[in-house]
Structure 1
Amino acid sequence: MQTNLSEAAQSLERAEEAESILRACVHCGFCNATCPTYQLLGNELDGPRGRIYLIKQLLEGEPVTEKTQLHLDRCLSCRNCETTCPSGVRYHALLDIGRAEVARRTVRPARERWLRAGLRHAVSRPALFAALLGAGRVARAALPETLRDKIPARAPVASPRPSMQQTARHTRRVLMLEGCVQPSLAPNTNAAAARVFDRLGIGVTPAPQAGCCGANDYHMDAQEAGLQRARRNIDAWWPAIEAGAEAIVMTASGCGAFVKEYGDLLRFDPAYADKARRVSALARDLVEVIAAEPLEQLNALAPAAAKQIAFHCPCTLQHAQRLGGKVEAVLARLGFGLTGVANAHLCCGSAGTYSLTQPEIAKQLRDNKLDALETGRPDAIVTANVGCQTHLNSAGRSNVTHWIELVDSLLTPDQEMN
């Protein structure tokens, strides 16, 4: 694709990157075939190729209109198009550049500004989110449907984690990001991961100063705020990294996808570039760690009793981290059966806060995904991201949990791995 960036665009920090990505696109349109929003809406501008044209126009100096913003907002950032693209176009990076430029050159309506600011500040702060969730549970019946359905009627509980004293015997140590909403919405996920790690001879080193990964801010018109969160996490993790932590584990694939990009996103920051690259190199999705362990030799696992499982592979796992099939392989190793899931490559509609900013599209995608997951009549449905889990559960249909809880359920309480 030929480009002619405006003088203003050429002065952007990521101008060279944007131009390189634009020139890699050959207009083939293969991306539209797997784009969830294009499939639903049938509008060229609601597919990756159309959005690339919109970004090209604004970087070449064309006016930014409400239409430009609308079509970029409707993108789920699922990165399905990147998996499909034969030219290797780094669409998500171009989208980030385009959205930042749109935010710089336009002012959103007041209602949108308030919604986005509210989501940014509430979701990214675990204590505040927990308090708001508790208040929302009390007033649940009076809330708008879109918000009400996201709030569990009962507060979820977590089984106890191994204590620091219990895990002190382990020579292997990892860090684990607690997340922002997961401690309130799905607290047993990280607890289950810690218990499984303990059985595998791996201890989890606490890093209480680490907070939100930064993705929520970064994708909500506040890129610098997202990067600042990344810097705080790097500072919080660094002592444990220097002490020999072998990995930074993410139980939410959305966080994992973003932390793995710290090195790229902070490459222009002289104070953090090297540390960010080190953090990204250590970042692991939970399945990457578990899959490398000798699960078959772990005699503390009870039989899976041939349960049939439907796995929803989040976009951030299969398209961003390219780890599709990894969780399914672990479950199969443990004796679970996997049911077929039609169109498993498509997004469920969660996409961070997308289900609240674009509720109609998100609901359609959610219901389509549940139809596919439920077709095989599985005994359980599991996923690898708290956002997907919460969004799918908002339909009030089949219960969805994290896959590590399924593994944890096989552990017998009175045995330990030598």
Structure 2
Amino acid sequence: MQTQLSEQARALPRGEEAEAILRSCVHCGFCNATCPTYQLLGDELDGPRGRIYLMKQVLEGFEPSASTLQHLDRCLTCRNCETTCPSGVQYHNLLDIGRAVVEEWVPRPLGERAIRAGLRAVVPHAGLFKTLVRTGHAFRPLLPEALKAKLPRQIRPAQPRPEVRHERQVLMLEGCVQPGLSPNTNAAAARVLDRLGISVVPAREAGCCGAVDYHLNAQDAGLDRARRNIDAWWPAIENGAEAIIQTASGCGAFVKEYGHLLKDDPRYAAKASRVANLAKDLVEVLRDAQLESLGIRSDLRLAFHCPCTLQHAQKLGGAVENVLSRLGFHLTPVPDGHLCCGSAGTYSITQPELSRQLRDNKLNALESGQPQVIATANIGCQTHLDGAGRTPVRHWIELVDEAMD
């Protein structure tokens, strides 16, 4: 795609990157065929190709409007378009750049600003978020339906974790919302890894991965969180930790971007690159392990929802399904498994109507094989899908943990 960025755009820290991404797009439109919002709305500007044109205009000097902001906001950043694209367009990076520029030009209504500020004030803070979840759970009968849907139907308490006792050791990102919404998930992962001869070393100082701030256009704040995590993990990395495990694929996708996002930071570039290389989704460890040693006994019939951040961002589509099949679980077929469930971080709060439509479509597909339970690999997807009150939705590692003899 031919483009001529304005002088102002060229002066942006990522101006050259934006220009390179725009030039890589051949505007073929293949991306629209797999874009969830384009499928729902049928508007060219609510598909990747249209959004790329909008961002191109802005970066060439045209003033954006409230409509521009709306079309960019509606993007789930599911990155399905990147999986489809024959030219390898790094759409998500262009979107980060474009959204930041548009945000500076177009003032948001007060209500939107309040919601986004509230999300940033609560979600990244694990302790505060956990307290609010438990308070909401206690008063659940009194809450409006919209809030009830954001709370888990059941909070399974964290079971004891094994002591650090193996030579092989890994770090684990605890996350910000998972300890409140599904506190047993990371504990289950630690127990399964322990059975495989791998110990999880605690790093309590590490917190939110930074994705919440970053994708709500508080990009500097998101990168500051990334730097704090790098500092928290670095002593263990120097002592030989072989990986940084994530049980939430959304966090994993962002941590794997640390190297790219901090490449121009003279203090953190090398460390960020090292952290990004060490970052692994839990399934990347299990798929290479001797799974027979887990002693799994289960005839559970389940459908697996592969999160967008696992299949499109981390390119690990089919990995969890393969592990579960090897362990003896019976997986039911899932039509249109490439499509987003509508969770997409905070999207279910900022774009509730579109999010509900996508959720219901996804549940219809997941339930078509009549599973007993739906498994997934990301806490956002888990909470969003389970909030419909239909088939129970669990993290897959908890199902594995429960099936060990």
State the 1:339 CA deviation. 1.0
CA distance in 1, matches of 2:98, 2:198: 42
Q: Tell whether the 8 Å contact from 2:302 to 2:371 is kept in structure 1 after alignment.
A: yes
Q: Tell whether the 8 Å contact from 1:215 to 1:258 is kept in structure 2 after alignment.
A: yes
Give the AA of the match of 1:345: H
TM-score (norm 2): 0.98
Which SS does the other structure have where 1:381 is aligned? strand
Matched, 1:37 2:30: no
Give the AA of the match of 1:31: C
Deviation by residue 1:324-353 (Cα, 9 ceiling, x = unmatched): 000010011111121110000000000000
Which SS does the other structure have where 2:242 is aligned? coil
State the 1:143 CA deviation. 3.9
Q: Tell whether the 8 Å contact from 2:297 to 2:404 is kept in structure 1 after alignment.
A: no
State the 1:140 CA deviation. 3.4
Give the AA of the match of 1:405: E
Q: Tell whether the 8 Å contact from 1:146 to 1:356 is kept in structure 2 after alignment.
A: no
Matched, 1:303 2:297: yes
1:357 to 330, 350, 356: 350
Q: 1:327 to 1:153 in 2, by over 3 A?
A: closer
Alignment match, 1:400: 393
Alignment match, 2:364: 371
1:204 to 157, 175, 200: 200
Q: 1:63 to 1:142 in 2, by over 3 A?
A: farther
CA distance in 2, matches of 1:83, 1:287: 20
CA distance in 2, matches of 1:398, 1:380: 6
2:334 to 332, 337, 341: 341
State the 1:103 CA deviation. 1.4
Matched, 1:285 2:278: no
Task: Give structure 1 stretches of 5+ with no counterpart.
Answer: 413-418
Which SS does the other structure have where 1:254 is aligned? helix
CA distance in 2, matches of 1:111, 1:82: 32
2:221 to 204, 225, 235: 225
State the 1:112 CA deviation. 0.6
Matched, 1:240 2:236: yes
Q: Tell whether the 8 Å contact from 1:211 to 1:229 is kept in structure 2 after alignment.
A: yes
Alignment match, 2:8: 8
2:308 to 302, 315, 320: 315
Cα RMSD of the aligned pairs, angstroms, is 1.1
TM-score (norm 1): 0.95
State the 1:302 CA deviation. 3.5
State the 1:142 CA deviation. 4.6
Alignment match, 2:58: 58
Q: Tell whether the 8 Å contact from 1:156 to 1:184 is kept in structure 2 after alignment.
A: no
Q: State percent identity of aligned pairs.
A: 68
Which SS does the other structure have where 1:409 is aligned? helix
Alignment match, 1:416: none
Alignment match, 2:403: 410
CA distance in 2, matches of 1:129, 1:65: 34
Q: How many residues align?
A: 405
State the 1:11 CA deviation. 0.4
CA distance in 2, matches of 1:253, 1:217: 17
